[in-house]
Amino acid sequence: MDQKQRSSFTYPPRNNSPKESFNPNYDYPQFNSQNRTESPYTPSQFFNSQAREWDPHALLSNLSFLEQKIHQMQNIVREMIRTNEGQNCNTSELTAQRQLLTTDLTSTIIQLISTAGSFLPTIRTSLLSGNAPIPQLGSSILSASSAPSPSAYQPNPSPDYEELTKGWGENVVESAGQIQIEDLDVKEGEDVGQDGDTLPIGSYEVLQLEKEEILAPHTHFCTICGKGFKRDANLRMHMRGHGDEYKSPAALAKPAREPGSQPIPVKRYSCPFVGCKRNKEHKNFQPLKTLLCVKNHYKRSHCEKSYTCSRCNTKKFSVLADLKTHEKHCGRDKWLCSCGTTFSRKDKLFGHVALFQGHTPALPSDEVKGKNEEINDKDDSGGVGYNDGDEYLDMKGGYFSPMVNFDSFSFEGLDEFSRTTFDPTENSFSFLRSGSPDFARKDPGN
Amino acid sequence: MCDITAVLTVDLLAQVLDWLHDSRDLKSCRLVSRAFLQAERMHRRAIRPLRLGPLPVLLRRYVGSLQSLDLSSCPSLDDSALSLSIPCPNNLRSVSLSRATGVTWRGLEVLASVCPRIEAIDISHCVGFGDREAAAVAKACWLKELRIDKCLNVTDVGLAKVAVGCSRLEKLGIKWCFEISEIGIDLLVKKCLELRELDISYLKVGNESLRSIASLSKLEDLALVGCEYIDDEGLYFLSNGNCSLQSIDISRCENVTSVGLTTLAEGQQRLRKINAGNCSPVLTSTFVSKLCTLGDTLIILKLDKLQLLASALEIVGKNCRNLLEIGLSKCNGVNDEGISWLVEGCTNLSTIDLTCCLLVTDKSLLSIAACCRGVKCLWLESCVLISEKGLDQIASCCMDLKEIDLTDCNVNDNALKCLSRCSELLVLKIGLCSGVSDIGLSFIGTNCSKLLELDLYRCTAITDDGLAAISNGCKRLKKLNLCYCNQISDTGLAHLQLEELSDLELRGMVRITSSGITAMAMGCRSLTQLDLKRCYSIDDAGMWALAQYTENLRQLTISYCTVTGLGLCHILGSLRCLQDVKMVHLSWVSIEGFELALRASCGKLKKVKLLGKLQDVLSSELLQTLQARGCRIRWVNKPLVFKG
């Protein structure tokens, strides 16, 4: 079972994803689609080795190469113009030329970017795009980004490219995320810092589970029969049925931490939903404290509310416990606000009234006026009721800890992941990638 | 005959009118000429009609200039009458509907919508008012001043309506709104940041409320009378709050001790008025010594019923040199020594309350006379040790004396002779002084012509002659108390020809009959309050006379009189201003008599006191109608006992 868990949380080794590159000494080839898949993109060892460290000589040679290339393209265009004027249009030839031009332009752009990337010292190594295979843990962002799989035209795996790939992939996402984040900021700006969590950024590890994992009903599975459990303790009880070897006190005991191991780093969790304040890419990222918090937060904030109160038929919840809490006092809400919101306690109503301009407690027989218009005001804070839910659960986190056993794992992959911070200089390039679908599709080869 | 307006323009006349405060003087002014009437019309900003009848005429006359309308004295004021009596809505700034129990929330809503710029509303003592009425008032969003004292059904919800609707409120009174809790106060403080004056007397709120109130940065005046759940901790919050209080009234807060008062005096350095009367009785010297830090700013200090030592008064005298008013009523420790130290320092004192300071003797009066020449009010009730010697000094030194209370002080005619030298005297109370006789009253009658109020309660030595002397000398009397002066007969009463008399108490004067009442009623046309309880000889004839002559009578007590149903019917039916009638033990009135009389008065009465036995025999429909029109009935169960 531990194995199972481990595999799901460990960052898997990356496939060495092929990357784009170009050979600075590359001469414009004959137009031949077959050729292109091989020769034009053969990566130059020279360039690759320079990717990390900036080398002025390399830069110069790259630039002259680009210059050369631009001249070539100019020539093609002139050729096209000449052909047009000559009126002896060979349609197929023209099409071929256009294709050639498109390909060339694209590759020039990429090369330009590469050059710039190697030049700008603020950029860590990552520049070129591409996609590492989606890691099980933590990179659903990438999958969401619709980044094309570069492996299609990148036959040459190289560790450096892996870096580049990742960087680009994230850039794309980040730029998209950035827009959303700014949207959200407007709304959420107020409650920044409400959290009691005062850990300085960087003093903890940030983990991010995938949506599927968060929503999985069970996290502990029997290695023999495959049955799932919510708690490890329950699984251990279950295992007794599979044989005497599971009945020993050692097997039944809570897996202990290895003594003398490294002090366990503080862990915090990030919500996989990009743009959410609990997502680590958010400007005012507020991490979640425990797995349970992650689950409840994700369900409450980003899932459909599928549990409906059977008594009032209006209140909906995505966390079953919330429904149960509500059902305890449903029907006893006698404190009504002019906006239509009901409260079971007077002080809660008055707190609400104090918060929102223009709301007043409604008199018993008052008609609920403007319910629809005003309800929007409070919608955002519809969270209000649950905003503190995460904290509330944090306190109970202790219950949960036996199951959260991944303290002992190391998250190399995630580490890197979490280190990747958004850098505006990179962002300026990222649009190219997302904005040039042609490029993505250009190479059907492989 | 030359036109006076050629000399005195309307503007000038208006300036003259600024100096006239008495309604009677204004009336004489109006009657001079059309020009004067015009000037008065333009000058007048406020009216307080006694009846609804003449209101339309008045409103037409003053349309345009009227800013303030006081309808609190109008009987039978209901929603429709209210909506008709709102003149020139754009100018109207202030409306008083105190005790207007016939008005409902609909009327208030109309008022709030018709007068969008109204700034002050008073609906105090409308005991039936609740959240709905408060919500209606809250629609007047420019409101700066609101009194909802004793609107018994107002809860936190009503207060929240007001707090949200009237965020510009500067003055708010919610005294006796028992249903309001800390939650409501908290919301009020969050929404009404402009509050300067707040009265939460007798509310059942605790220290937390004071914690939130303390955050009101503009608060200057806070009344916490009788807040039993407030203690020293609350005062600690106040002293450390944002507000800079100028006046605080914490009288009758039983749980407040001198520790709290000390912290308050430390934190609030701008306090000008402190009323700490009837708090916990022990007052340590630390509080008094803290008062020195307030020093010169303090002008009013009331320490009623606290145990004060002479040394404490010495500290006050040395430090609070600008003190204008001091209240030491029922302070056991106050003696001549303390008073002399006090007045030596506080030479500006104009009001000194020594009620029930039993140790005070003539020496105190001598030191007051020596140091505080400007004293205007001197309250000496039950200071049994004082005599004419001290009063003589007071009368000769304090020529400004306007009010003196000598109730139960055993003063005699000589003392009155001395006091009569104070020609500025306005209020004289010599109740329970059996030594006062006609001779003393004749001095008063001759010299104190400005007297407005005279209390002769149980001055049993007084006869008709004394009353005649007073009636002839003090023509401006407004209040006269002759209760239990049982030597006075109809002859004496006939001397009462006091045009301005509004308040007359004749309780227990067994000798007077209806003929005396008739003579009195013809002379005192302005009567608004009359107490005839236990005047056993008064019958229907007296009622007829009252119904005919005292049109403005608002409050009447006729318990134990020998009135029959007919008389009762007549008086209740004809007096148009009557609002409050106490008619217990009217043995000559039948059930039908009561029924008819109450029906005749229906709509006007706001308060009725009846014998409890009648509760079951009067028709329930009548009682319901009365209550629906805003009338409160008090049922009393007292045995019928004749006292002479």
Kindly report, residue by residue over A169-216, the tens digit of the pLDDT.
344 334 443 434 333 333 333 333 344 456 676 777 788 878 777 777
**Which residue has 């009903």 as its token pair?**
A217
pLDDT score for A124 = 47
Q: What is the 3 state secondary structure string of B183-225?
A: HHHHHHHHHCCCCCEEECCCCCCCHHHHHHHCCCCCCCEEECC
Buried b (16+ CB within 10 A) or exposed e, A201-211: eeebbbbbbbb
Q: State whether B160 and A361 contact (CB < 8 Å).
A: yes
pLDDT score for B384 = 92
Q: How far is A378 from chain B (nearest CA, A)?
A: 17
Q: State whether B160 and A353 contact (CB < 8 Å).
A: yes
pLDDT score for B284 = 66
Cβ partners under 8 Å of residue A259, min gap 6:
none
With beta carbons less than 8 A apart as the criterion, state whether B427 and B448 touch. Answer: no
Q: In sequence order, which ranges of B272-387 are alpha helices (DSSP H)?
A: 285-294, 310-319, 336-345, 362-371
Q: State whether B187 and A360 contact (CB < 8 Å).
A: no
Please report residues of A whose CB lies closer than 8 A to that of B131.
363
Query: What residue of B is the nearest CA neighbor of A346?
Result: B183
B156 → closest Cβ in A346, A358, A363? A346
**CA dihedral defined by A173, A175, A180, A186, rounded to 10 degrees?**
140
Q: How far is A193 from chain B (nearest CA, A)?
A: 23
Instruction: Establish how many alpha carbons lie within 13 A of residue A165's alpha carbon, considering only the half-sphere containing its beta carbon.
Output: 26
Please report residues of A whose CB lies closer than 8 A to that of B133.
none
Q: State whether B187 and A350 contact (CB < 8 Å).
A: yes
**CA atoms A89, A90, A95, A96: torsion sign:** negative
Q: How far does CA A223 lie from the centroid of its chain? A: 30
Residue with the bigger pLDDT between A316 and A369: it is A316
**What's the rounded mean pLDDT across residues A98-112?**
83
**What does pTM read for this prediction?**
0.66
Does A107 score more than 70 pLDDT?
yes
A350 → closest Cβ in B132, B138, B183? B183
Q: State whether A360 and B164 contact (CB < 8 Å).
A: yes
Cα separation, B642 vs B644, in Å, equals: 7
pLDDT score for A158 = 45
Interface test with B, best of A352, A363, A366, A369 (most B CBs within 10 A): A363
B183 → closest Cβ in A346, A360, A363? A346
Q: State whether A361 and B157 contact (CB < 8 Å).
A: yes
A350 → closest Cβ in B135, B156, B165? B156
**Which residue has 């609190």 as its token pair?**
B72
pLDDT score for A10 = 40
Please report residues of B whose CB lies closer than 8 A to that of A363.
131-132, 135, 157, 161
pLDDT score for B491 = 95
Please report residues of B whose CB lies closer than 8 A to that of A356.
none
- CB contact A348 to B (< 8 Å): no
**Which residue has 């500025």 as its token pair?**
B424
pLDDT score for B182 = 94
pLDDT score for A192 = 37
* Residue A314: count of CB within 10 angstroms of its CB: 9
- CB contact A397 to B (< 8 Å): no
Buried b (16+ CB within 10 A) or exposed e, A333-356: bebbbbbbbbbeebebbbbbbbeb
DSSP letter for each residue of A172-219? HHHHHHHHHHHHHHHHHGGGTT-SS--PPTTSSEEEE--HHHHH-S-S
With beta carbons less than 8 A apart as the criterion, state whether B529 and B554 touch. Answer: yes
Kindly report, residue by residue over A65-84, the tens digit of the pLDDT.
888 888 888 888 888 888 77
Kindly report, residue by residue over A279-323, the tens digit of the pLDDT.
888 888 888 888 888 888 888 888 888 888 887 787 888 888 888
Percentage of chain A lying above the pLDDT 90 cut = 3
Kindly report, residue by residue over A8-18, the tens digit of the pLDDT.
444 444 444 44
With beta carbons less than 8 A apart as the criterion, state whether B97 and B126 touch. Answer: yes
- CB contact A347 to B (< 8 Å): yes
Please report residues of A whose CB lies closer than 8 A to that of B190.
354
- CB contact A359 to B (< 8 Å): yes
B183 → closest Cβ in A347, A358, A363? A347
What is the average pLDDT value for chain A, to the nearest integer? 62
What is the count of residue pairs from A and B with beta carbons less than 8 Å apart?
33
Confidence of residue A257 (pLDDT cuts 50, 70, 90): low
Q: State whether A363 and B156 contact (CB < 8 Å).
A: no
Residues of B with CB under 8 A from a CB of A: 131-132, 135, 138, 156-157, 160-161, 164-165, 183-184, 186-187, 190-191
Residues paired with residue A305 on neighbouring β-strands, in sequence order: none
A363 → closest Cβ in B132, B156, B191? B132
Please report residues of B whose CB lies closer than 8 A to that of A359.
164
Does A342 score more than 60 pLDDT?
yes
Please report residues of B whose CB lies closer than 8 A to that of A353.
160, 164, 187
Please report residues of A whose CB lies closer than 8 A to that of B184.
350
Interface test with A, best of B183, B185, B186, B215 (most A CBs within 10 A): B183
Query: What residue of B is the nearest CA neighbor of A360?
Result: B161
- CB contact A354 to B (< 8 Å): yes
CA distances from A234 to A9, A196, B204 (A): 20, 32, 54
Residue with the bigger pLDDT between A132 and A67: it is A67
Q: State whether B156 and A354 contact (CB < 8 Å).
A: no
Please report residues of A whose CB lies closer than 8 A to that of B139.
none
Interface test with A, best of B139, B157, B189 (most A CBs within 10 A): B157
Backbone angles phi, psi at A336, to 5 degrees: -115, 135
Q: How far is B201 from chain A (nearest CA, A)?
A: 22
Could you state, in chain order, the average pLDDT of each consecutive group of 10 residues for chain B (644 residues)?
68 83 83 84 86 84 84 88 77 91 91 89 94 94 95 95 94 95 95 95 95 94 94 92 92 89 88 89 74 83 87 88 93 91 93 94 94 94 93 93 94 93 95 94 95 95 95 95 94 94 95 95 95 95 95 95 94 93 94 93 90 92 90 91 76
List the single range of A40-44, A73-77, A99-103, B90-94 with lowest mean pLDDT: A40-44
Q: State whether A346 and B131 contact (CB < 8 Å).
A: no
Q: State whether A358 and B132 contact (CB < 8 Å).
A: no
- CB contact A253 to B (< 8 Å): no
Cβ partners under 8 Å of residue A85, min gap 6:
none
Q: State whether A361 and B161 contact (CB < 8 Å).
A: yes
Which A residues in the span 293-312 are in contact with B, Cβ-Cβ below 8 Å? none
User: For residue B539, what is the DSSP state?
Assistant: -
- CB contact A367 to B (< 8 Å): no
- CB contact A334 to B (< 8 Å): no
Please report residues of B whose CB lies closer than 8 A to that of A347.
183
Q: How far is B139 from chain A (nearest CA, A)?
A: 12
ipTM of the complex: 0.87
pLDDT score for A64 = 86
Backbone angles phi, psi at A83, to 5 degrees: -60, -45
Q: State whether B186 and A350 contact (CB < 8 Å).
A: yes
Query: What residue of A is the nearest CA neighbor of B131?
Result: A363
